Amino acid sequence: MKIILEASQAVAEAVKACNVEVVSIYPITPQTHIVETVADFIDNGEMNAEVIYAESEHSMFSAAAGASAAGARSFTASSSQGLALGFEILGMISGMRLPVVAAVANRALSSPINIWNDHSDTMSIKDAGWIQLYVESAQEAFDTTVQAFKIAEETLIPVMVCLDGFTLSHVTEPLELENVSSFVGKYKGKYILDPKKPLLMGPVATPASYMEIKEVQQKDMLDSKKVVKKIHEEYKKKYKRGYGDGLIEIYNLKGKKKALILMGSAVGTARVVSDEEKDFGVIKLKCFRPFPEEELKKICKDIEEIAVIDRSLSFGQDSAVYTEVKKCLPDKKISSFIGGLGGRDITKKTIKDAVKQIGKGGQIWLK
Amino acid sequence: MKKVKIAGIVDEPGSTVKNKTGGWRTKKPVRDVKKCIKCMKCWLFCPDICIDENIITDYDYCKGCGICAEVCPVKCIKMEDEEK
């Protein structure tokens, strides 16, 4: 049965459906609807979880880490400045291999203050050791959040579900909810704090072992692509709904020489323009970390020209998505476009402008 | 690849015994036994409990801080360069 929800509420529904045990909360626009809805579920008895109201995002991520270390399935959510304040703990959660799931309602970073959508918050922490999955719709937000718990718990790598602020977080859409209790199962941590079996987590690692520990983390992160794909496939089989191979989704790409690569809700607009114009295909990057290098190479085999739209900046150099794509496809003609910063809409015209200027070179701003 | 535990966790006791932190040392305290008056000041002041009651230095854990040489009233402890 289809119901109508915001993507924020869809994430909250997934958190409820996955029997999350601890939710740490600190409000920030545009994320607040997520934790607000979860808190409602707990208050009215629909969900049996502990809520920790933190005094900052730094404490909020710390509480999520502690809960996860103690063996609880743990969830939290943030945006923009909040995510930036929690930065220190993000690296600790991934370094301690705690399977926390966090939803991020993407929002521009200050200054100037801007509460609207772009990807500068999550792009600035792409190297923090979290798996990053970007969604396009409320339905995908629900499905991806469910899969995120399974992925995190199997790989011992935290997962960030990134949904565009307002464009998704505050927009109602029809979607299907699923009973996923048996799909995700009960969380049983492999390494947890238990007084009966003492364990030291996050100890000092001297120069003699730090590199080897990080080498393991890097290897596991690269290998996690397989797990992201596998769990997406299992979900697809069970609930008859999928998004490409779980890493990348393509649209109208067959037989095309031109492709547009982007992430998040703007993909929907690109699909419509692709249907109308028929001269380019769309490549949606769902998984940005780990980066699906091999998969992208395979998909782009016959593509000649590519336009990448980044919704974030790397001051002093090209933006993140373009840089990654260029690294994977050094021999292709690829153009870098900046668009949709600070909530500027990516309209059909924006997409057309990008496709029109494919191959122009330099960093082109779509205003 | 050297074997390490995931995230560097410590799940059994005794890891500090196994981890020979003396490797951090760049200077090594060497005592001139003939000059030593056995006042035990070095034993008292060593912050790492690396000097025993027989004034024998435990080089597995001594980090070469030099406090023993500093407090020695007859200056019988010399800090020598660690050869590596």
What's the CA gap between B13 and B11, in Å, rounded?
7
Q: What is the pLDDT of residues A255-280, one digit of tens each?
A: 999 999 999 999 999 999 999 999 99
A80: cis peptide before it, omega within 30°? no
pLDDT at site B17: 85
**Residue B84 binned pLDDT confidence (cut-offs 50, 70, 90):** low
What's the CA gap between A23 and A67, in Å, rounded?
9
Q: Do A199 and B9 touch (CB under 8 A)?
A: yes
* The dihedral sign for the CA sequence A39, A44, A46, A50: positive
The nearest CA of chain A is from the CA of B8 a distance in Å of: 6
Which residue from B minimizes the CA distance to A193?
Answer: B11
Q: Do A212 and B6 touch (CB under 8 A)?
A: no
Q: What is the mean pLDDT of chain A?
A: 97
pLDDT at site B1: 56
Instruction: Read off the pLDDT of each residue in A224-240 and give the average, rounded to a whole number.
Output: 98
Instruction: Read off the pLDDT of each residue in A212-227 and give the average, rounded to a whole number.
Output: 98
Between residues 43 and 62 of chain B, which touch chain A (CB distance below 8 Å)? none
* The dihedral sign for the CA sequence B4, B7, B11, B15: positive
Ordered by where they begin, the domains of chain A are 2-239 (3.40.50.970), 248-366 (3.40.50.920)
The nearest CA of chain B is from the CA of A361 a distance in Å of: 43
Nearest Cβ partner of B9 from A191, A208, A210? Answer: A191
The nearest CA of chain A is from the CA of B24 a distance in Å of: 10
ipTM of the predicted structure? 0.81
How many pairs of residues across A and B have Cβ atoms under 8 Å apart?
A: 47
Ordered by where they begin, the domains of chain B are 31-84 (3.30.70.20)
- Residue A315 is given by DSSP the state T
**Measured between CB atoms, does B33 come within 8 Å of chain A?**
no
CA dist A269 → A156, A191, A206, A259 (Å): 35, 44, 50, 14
Q: pTM of the full predicted structure?
A: 0.91
What's the CA gap between A231 and A70, in Å, rounded?
25
- Side-chain half-sphere CA neighbours of B58 within 13 A: 14
Instruction: Read off the pLDDT of each residue in A323-331 and give the average, rounded to a whole number.
Output: 96
Q: Do B23 and A213 touch (CB under 8 A)?
A: no
- Residue whose structure tokens are 């730090």: A210
Instruction: Read off the pLDDT of each residue in A65-80 and give the average, rounded to a whole number.
Output: 98
The nearest CA of chain B is from the CA of A51 a distance in Å of: 27
What's the CA gap between A229 and A221, in Å, rounded?
13
Which residue in B1, B2, B3, B4 has the most chain A C-beta atoms within 10 A of its own C-beta, making it the best mutation to test that interface?
B4
Q: Is the pLDDT of residue A145 over 80?
A: yes
- The alpha-carbon radius of gyration of chain A (Å, integer) is 20
- In this structure, are residues A259 and A253 in contact, taking their beta carbons and an 8 Å threshold? yes
Q: Which of A138-152, A169-183, A235-249, B1-15 has the lowest mean pLDDT?
A: B1-15
- In this structure, are residues A288 and A300 in contact, taking their beta carbons and an 8 Å threshold? no
Q: What is the pLDDT of residues A106-140, one digit of tens each?
A: 999 999 999 999 999 999 999 999 999 999 999 99
The set of residues, in sequence order, having a beta carbon less than 8 Å from that of A83 and lying 6+ positions away, is A57, A90, A104, A121, A122, A125
List the one residue out of A218, A275, A288 whose CA is nearest residue A246. A288
Residues on chain B touching A191 (C-beta within 8 angstroms): 6-7, 9, 11
